[in-house]
Amino acid sequence: MIQSYLISELSKWISATAIIKSDVEISYLVTDSRSVSNPGNSMFVALRGSNHNGHDYIPTLYQQGLRCFLVDEDYKTDATLTEANYLVVQDTLSCFQQLAARKRDYSTCPVIGITGSNGKTIVKEWVAQLIGTTKNLARSPKSYNSQIGVPLSVWQLTKETEIAVFEAGISQKGEMQKLAQVIKPTIGLVTNIGAAHQENFSSRKEKLFEKLQLFKNSEVIIYSRDVPFVKEGIREIYPEKKTYTWGSDKSADVRVLKKEISGSVYKVSLQKEGSDIELEFPFTDEVSFENGMHAVSTMFYLGYTVSYISEAVKKLVPVAMRMELKEGINNCILVNDSYNSDISSLALSLDFLIQQSRKGNVVRTLILSDIYQSGIKGDKLCKRINDLLKEKGIDRFVGVGEVLAQHAGVFEMDSAFYASTKEFLDSVTHNSFKNEAILIKGSRNFEFEKVTAFLEKKHHQTRLEINLNALVDNLNYYRSKLNEKTRVLAMVKAFSYGSGSFEIANVLQHQKVDYLGVAFADEGVELRKAGISLPIIVMNPESKSFPSMIQHQLEPEIYSFKVLSEFVDELKKEGLSKYPVHIKLDTGMYRLGFVESQMESLKEVLGQTPEIRVKSAFSHLVGSDGADFDEFTNLQISRFDKQTSDLESALGYSFIKHILNSAGILRFPDAQFDMARVGIGMYGIGAVEQQNLKCVTSFKSYISQIKEVKAHETIGYGRRGELAYDADIAVVPVGYADGLNRRLSNGVGKMMVNGQLAPIVGNICMDMCMVDVTGLRAKEGDEVQVFGTDISVDELAQELGTIPYEIFTSISRRVKRIYYYE
């Protein structure tokens, strides 16, 4: 049972000033206005971030039926929300943490707290997998380990919880202490501490010491004895504390005697308290071994028996940490979520499904396998799933597995049940799914990748993977450089710089950017049809598209008197007035826009045209990324400043003014005016401060065939690739028709195969190319990266004598785009 507390009681926990109209039972705390599922007994915690103010969402949440709000003193309560209850405090984040800390205090079960630079989530998930159904377990959903994620995780504790595993991550000094007060781990676990120290720490040691703050009151710290740096750090801070260690060192509690790869398993010989133990991990890489040993040591410490652990270890499954969005058959979209199954992650994935649904997806469907939520009985679990599906408005439910099938009667929506994945696949046809937004979520052993493969629209396997978290992080990075009041226009022209249209626009809409910019009307129409409601500027409006622009409320860039009069004619036909338009001023690019000498007549004409309303005026910088041009950039800015203020006084009303693009935001922060237009930077390329941006797009393919070819033979068309030695040549199904520039032929370009660079041999063909994998670890089916996380687009662009913009936008539409969240 989810515990609930009266809001009046919660108020006392944090000494809030309470404005309570009627006392409400609170079970859930919510920080994300987009994912509320039980408005009746939730309290919304309004948090302020650098580019986000939670208080702004209170009216919308009130409309959705939410009545309780934790707000700060700067918030002016809204009198029209007559039934709202408020807890008013100085600092909402810190009170949110206090609430969770208090709930933690009511719990007496062992709590494992995990920190470290890498592996926290995997170790946490593996500890949970190993504990399995032996105990009622609570754990952080996904990688919820931040100042906000930790209290959300800890708030899940209930009276029934028998053990909890939470992870804690920090990026700054002082943060761990706060997390420590919320988690109060009885058992501490350090994974590893990365070699580099982040910008906010002066040294690696300082970072370690900060992390170790988590364990102030823990009874024990579990760690690897083989990392002297961690061992010494723990000794220094906690000389008296009990530790439980693993490693090859003689004094380790769990000693690793031997480990060897045997086929697809890692065989490990251990010694613990004098007795020998053999384990078989179902993976063969060193990182997984380390994570596995952390999890196993924790199990030993908890007192599980050797025979239990050795059986459980064999069944460990990889922790996939991303959610993919794919194009499905019959106008369906698929969200493929291979995160481990549990109710809280199901709720998050359903939110993602709803967020990504398009207008044409008239049915929302969930295909779910049995989920092994520890400690909850089948009927109870099914009731909770049913409640969740009703709350989220899921229309159709497909249950796969015996537990779900046994409780078929619990589900109130259109539903069907199958005992196994095979039975499901044998029973349905492609016609069974149409115009649906489908979430596919299965436990590993159900092999739901077969379900995904069945429902997926088939393309060839060369693909562009787009990391949506990275896109959002980059957007927020640019936002952090802007004043609070400066609006953001996100450029999604040219198929969002090659990365996709609706999917990107939808994320941006969700992130509450103010405007979208497209190049042509068609792109805007496509976005409207898919359900994007943000204002959209069309940079290149063509007169034949004016009717459809007006029909879809797209706002034109007006760059000449001709465009102005033609657009106004169309507005007159429709009998419209005050239609929002954007005036383009040419301050030095000499592309589109009104030049200085036209300003007088422009003022006059605009003043006499009631059909339109100037929503904004803008100009574009020609060299904002280069110091060589700074003088000219400043000249453009001052021309713009003068022209727009003249125009404003002539028109007698104000409008939005904007001139900065991505590079301009970083280099000319004083020229923000009222809005900035971010483009390439969002997609991970920055002329300056590149290191603060994340890679968003990776262009990938795979090896379809490997051939042994003798020295002096030649590879491909025109016999250009003559071999100097006996070589292994791999064929990769990506060619110039996919956007692989043919100038990368004959060794100019290289591709990444299993972390090794393989040069392109011979001429690139239309649909394929060949790479030399002689002496490399490579086999048929292996993934190949053209560019992305491992090969930078910047370098590729330099090699080709072009710019990243061209590389991104040259990738053919036939290349499948795959979007994912990590």
Ligand X SMILES: *Cc1c(COP(=O)(O)O)cnc(C)c1O
Catalytic site positions: 493, 717
Q: Does 680 bind ligand X (CB under 6 A)?
A: yes
- Side chain identity, residue 793: V
As a whole number of angstroms, the distance between CA 165 and CA 585 comes to 58
Q: Are strands 414-418 and 555-558 parallel, antiparallel or unpaired?
A: unpaired
Residue of 247, 679, 735, 804 interacting with ligand X (CB under 6 A)? 679
Closest approach, Cβ 592 to ligand X, in A, equals 9
Stretch that binds ligand X, among 306-314, 388-396, 569-577, 675-683 (CB under 6 A): 675-683
Spatial contact of 170 and 53, defined as CB atoms under 8 Å apart: no
Tokens of 791: 């090969």
Q: Does 681 bind ligand X (CB under 6 A)?
A: yes
Which among 779, 765, 769, 762 is positioned nearest to 728, based on CA atoms?
Answer: 779
Work out the number of other CB atoms within 10 angstroms of the CB of residue 406: 16
Closest approach, Cβ 682 to ligand X, in A, equals 8
DSSP state of 37: S
- x-or-dash string of contact with ligand X, 446-485, rule CB under 6 A: ----------------------------------------
Choice between 662 and 701, CB closer to ligand X: 662
Query: Coil, helix or strand for 25?
Result: strand
Cα 704 to Cα 165, 208, 453, 601, 770: the distances in Å are 43, 45, 19, 63, 10
Q: Does 491 bind ligand X (CB under 6 A)?
A: yes
DSSP state of 340: P
Closest approach, Cβ 665 to ligand X, in A, equals 8
Closest approach, Cβ 243 to ligand X, in A, equals 51
As a whole number of angstroms, the distance between CA 368 and CA 365 comes to 10
Tokens of 480: 């952090």
Residue 176 marked as a ligand binder:
no
Choice between 456 and 555, CB closer to ligand X: 555
Choice between 121 and 624, CB closer to ligand X: 624
Question: To which residue do tokens 């020998």 refer?
Answer: 276
Closest approach, Cβ 658 to ligand X, in A, equals 8
Q: Does 539 bind ligand X (CB under 6 A)?
A: yes
Cα 573 to Cα 148, 375, 546, 569: the distances in Å are 53, 67, 11, 6
Backbone angles phi, psi at 454, to 5 degrees: -65, -40
Choice between 178 and 620, CB closer to ligand X: 620
Choice between 501 and 662, CB closer to ligand X: 662
CA 215 to chain centre: 30
- x-or-dash string of contact with ligand X, 184-223, rule CB under 6 A: ----------------------------------------
- Cα radius of gyration (the chain): 29
DSSP state of 238: -
Residue of 467, 661, 774, 785 interacting with ligand X (CB under 6 A)? 661
Strand partners, 806: none
Choice between 386 and 587, CB closer to ligand X: 587
Q: Does 147 bind ligand X (CB under 6 A)?
A: no
Stretch that binds ligand X, among 32-40, 315-323, 655-663, 709-717 (CB under 6 A): 655-663
Which among 385, 396, 398 is positioned nearest to 361, based on CA atoms?
Answer: 396
Choice between 97 and 619, CB closer to ligand X: 619
Q: Does 536 bind ligand X (CB under 6 A)?
A: no
As a whole number of angstroms, the distance between CA 54 and CA 540 comes to 36
Q: Does 620 bind ligand X (CB under 6 A)?
A: yes
Choice between 120 and 493, CB closer to ligand X: 493
Closest approach, Cβ 116 to ligand X, in A, equals 37
Closest approach, Cβ 616 to ligand X, in A, equals 12
Closest approach, Cβ 618 to ligand X, in A, equals 7
Strand partners, 558: 583
Secondary structure element (H or E) that encloses residue 668, with its range: none
Stretch that binds ligand X, among 56-64, 397-405, 456-464, 674-682 (CB under 6 A): 674-682
Closest approach, Cβ 59 to ligand X, in A, equals 32
Stretch that binds ligand X, among 7-15, 110-118, 142-150, 679-687 (CB under 6 A): 679-687
Cα 695 to Cα 66, 146, 500: the distances in Å are 38, 22, 16
Stretch that binds ligand X, among 148-156, 660-668, 693-701, 796-804 (CB under 6 A): 660-668
Stretch that binds ligand X, among 281-289, 394-402, 404-412, 657-665 (CB under 6 A): 657-665
Residue nearest to ligand X (CB): 679
Choice between 401 and 804, CB closer to ligand X: 804
Q: Does 684 bind ligand X (CB under 6 A)?
A: no
Which among 178, 124, 431 is positioned nearest to 294, based on CA atoms?
Answer: 124
Cα 659 to Cα 251, 492, 541: the distances in Å are 65, 17, 19
Closest approach, Cβ 622 to ligand X, in A, equals 11
- Where do the DSSP E strands lie in 212-274? 220-224, 242-247, 254-262, 265-272
Choice between 571 and 678, CB closer to ligand X: 678
Summary count for the chain: helices (H), strands (E): 26, 43
Please tell me the count of residues contacting ligand X according to CB under 6 A: 12
Q: At what angle do helices 521-529 and 502-510 cross, to 10 degrees?
A: 70
Choice between 233 and 517, CB closer to ligand X: 517
Residue 539 marked as a ligand binder:
no
Q: Does 369 bind ligand X (CB under 6 A)?
A: no
As a whole number of angstroms, the distance between CA 516 and CA 479 comes to 15
Stretch that binds ligand X, among 15-23, 180-188, 191-199, 678-686 (CB under 6 A): 678-686
As a whole number of angstroms, the distance between CA 110 and CA 130 comes to 16
Q: Does 677 bind ligand X (CB under 6 A)?
A: yes
Residue of 81, 400, 532, 678 interacting with ligand X (CB under 6 A)? 678
Q: Are strands 714-715 and 721-722 parallel, antiparallel or unpaired?
A: antiparallel
As a whole number of angstroms, the distance between CA 405 and CA 399 comes to 7
Tokens of 354: 């709803």
> What is the DSSP track for 54-114?
GGGGHHHHHHTT--EEEEETT----TT-TT-EEEEES-HHHHHHHHHHHHHHT--S-EEEE
Closest approach, Cβ 294 to ligand X, in A, equals 43
- CB-based burial, 168-187: b 16+ in 10 Å, e otherwise: bbbeeeebbebbbbbbbbbb
Spatial contact of 135 and 303, defined as CB atoms under 8 Å apart: no
Residue of 415, 662, 741, 774 interacting with ligand X (CB under 6 A)? 662
Choice between 115 and 587, CB closer to ligand X: 587
Closest approach, Cβ 102 to ligand X, in A, equals 46
Q: Does 697 bind ligand X (CB under 6 A)?
A: no
Stretch that binds ligand X, among 174-182, 228-236, 314-322, 676-684 (CB under 6 A): 676-684
Spatial contact of 778 and 753, defined as CB atoms under 8 Å apart: yes
Q: Does 643 bind ligand X (CB under 6 A)?
A: no
Spatial contact of 108 and 62, defined as CB atoms under 8 Å apart: no
- x-or-dash string of contact with ligand X, 72-101, rule CB under 6 A: ------------------------------
Binding-site residues, in ranges, read 591, 766
Residues that bind ligand X (CB under 6 A): 491, 493, 539, 620, 661-663, 677-681
Q: Per the annotation, where are the binding residues for substrate?
A: 591, 766
